[in-house]
Amino acid sequence: MHVTGRVLTSRWVGRAALFAFWLGPILGLFGPRLSHDVESFVFWQLRVPRVIAGLLIGASLGLAGAVTQALFRNPLATPSTTGTLAGATLGALLALVFGVASTSIGMPGIALCAFAGALATSAIVLGASTSGRLRTQDILLIGIAVTLAASSAATVVEDIADAPALVAASRWSLGHLSQIGYDRIRMAAPILLSCWILLLSQIRALQLLVLGEDVAHARGLNVRRARVICLSGCALAVATAVAWCGPIAFVGLIVPAIVRLAWGGNQRVVLPLSLFTGAALLSLCDALGRLAWSKHEVPVGVVTAAFGAPVLVALIALRDRG
């Protein structure tokens, strides 16, 4: 009876939180009162695209986090432990330091370089994952090694950077959704949506992979193919998301954790629900960051960490209480 009671507490609080997150996209449409003609422009050209971007990017990060955690059977595995985010940060930093940030080839240089950096580091991890001899846990270690190497390289670049570039880099690394207009959404949406389809097609494979790769193999799964598909889908989705809005790493870590606490570990539930919860949570955090303090906007990356961490800790405490 005790056990059931505890599970239920954590479950129901978690479920309530998941629904409450959906206030985010609604909240994102509101703002301070403005004169009528400005209001219409601000609403349609700033707030609406921002909410859409928050939903798309949050969904991608939540889903990618859930897939990464299932693949590595590790609740600490996220796109930041597989090298993707460190690569994006290094790319963005290089763009700022070497002055290609403003060059535009359809998209700003900083986004382009972050995207390239994320794909480059992911390619190393992905290359390792095609080897049949390596175990999935080895790939996680390689991802961490790549992350550390990219971070060290970033430190070197920071060392030679001038002050304005450093300020811009630190601002970028906080994460923000404010600069995304319809043109960028049009560019990112097809990539993100195809990644979703690719990753959601792997639900049955991931249901086996959480039981261990040997068991998955014995039950008829082509383990190597499944992990290459999962890793490339995650890398592309995260690279796209991060290129536009900076490294909002935390969404990928906490969203699947909250979903699992609230609904259990069935991948058939965890994956789609992480997609929806990520979307809701990121737009909620963005709205909170924009509305909380009228003088200055708090970057969405900061709000996600400040808001998401207590929610996660509270759910874990509820689960283990008693």
Cβ atoms 175, 247 nearer than 8 A = yes
Task: Identify the residue among 214, 293, 310, 313 touching other proteins (CB under 8 A).
Answer: 214
218 binds other proteins (CB under 8 A): yes
Specify the DSSP element, H or E, that contains 234: helix 223-245
Which of 95-103, 106-114, 265-273, 304-312 is the region at the interface with other proteins (rule: CB under 8 A)? 265-273
Verify binding: residue 103, other proteins, rule CB under 8 A: no
Window 150-179: residues binding other proteins (CB under 8 A): none
Phi, psi of 104 (to 5 degrees): -125, 120
How many CB atoms are closer than 10 A to CB 123?
A: 15
Per CB under 8 A, the segment of 110-118, 201-209, 247-255, 300-308 that binds other proteins is 201-209
Which one of residues 266, 309, 310, 321 is an interface residue with other proteins (CB under 8 A)?
266
Q: How far are the Cα atoms of 151, 281, 322 from residue 301, in angstroms, in the given order?
A: 19, 11, 34
To the nearest whole angstrom, how small is the minimum distance from the Cβ of residue 222 to other proteins? 5
- Name the residue among 58, 196, 79 with its Cα closest to residue 126: 79
Decide: is 29 part of the binding site for other proteins (CB under 8 A): no
Indicate the residue among 11 and 176 with the shorter CB distance to other proteins. 11
207 binds other proteins per the rule CB under 8 A: yes
The residue count for binding other proteins (CB under 8 A) is 22
Binding segment for other proteins among 87-95, 160-168, 229-237, 258-266 (CB under 8 A)? Answer: 258-266
How far is 14 from 23, CA to CA, in rounded Å? 15
Handedness of CA 77, 78, 84, 85 (dihedral sign): negative
Binding flag, residue 67, other proteins (CB under 8 A): no
Q: Which stretch binds other proteins (CB under 8 A): 163-171, 178-186, 217-225, 289-297?
A: 217-225
When asked if residue 184 is in the footprint of other proteins (CB under 8 A), the reply is: no
Comparison of 147 and 274: residue with beta carbon closer to other proteins: 274
- Residue 237 touching other proteins (CB under 8 A): no
Q: Kindly list the distances between the CA atom of residue 273 and the CA atoms of 61, 62, 253, 300, in Å, as whole numbers in the listed order.
A: 12, 9, 14, 21
Distance CA 127, CA 228 (A): 9
Is residue 197 packed enough to be buried (19+ CB in 10 Å), middle (13-18) or exposed (0-12)? exposed
Q: Contact letters (x/-) for other proteins, 68-97, by CB under 8 A? A: -----x------------------------
Residue 5 in the binding site for other proteins (CB under 8 A): no
- Closer residue to other proteins in complex, CB, 171/268: 268
**φ and ψ at 266, to 5 degrees?**
-65, 120
Q: Going by C-beta distance under 8 Å and a sequence separation of 6 or more, which residues neighbour residue 70?
A: 206, 209, 210, 267, 270, 271
Question: Does residue 8 bind other proteins (CB under 8 A)?
Answer: no
* Least separation in angstroms between CB 3 and other proteins: 7
Question: Tokens at residue 267, please?
Answer: 């991948």
Residue 284 and residue 17 in contact, taking contact as beta carbons nearer than 8 Å = no
CB closer to other proteins out of 148 and 218: 218
Q: Is 134 exposed, middle or buried (0-12, 13-18, 19+ CB in 10 A)?
A: middle
The residues that touch other proteins, with contacts defined as CB under 8 A, are: 3, 73, 204, 207-208, 210-212, 214-222, 260, 264-266, 268
